[in-house]
Structure 1
Amino acid sequence: MQTAMLTGAPYTLLRDSIIAHPTMAEGLNMLFNALSD
Structure 2
Amino acid sequence: MIRARTEQWVKAEAESIFHELGMSVTEAINLFYLRYC
TM-score normalized by the length of structure 2: 0.41
Larger radius of gyration: 2
TM-score normalized by the length of structure 1: 0.41
Relative contact order higher in (CA < 8 Å, ≥ 6 apart): 1
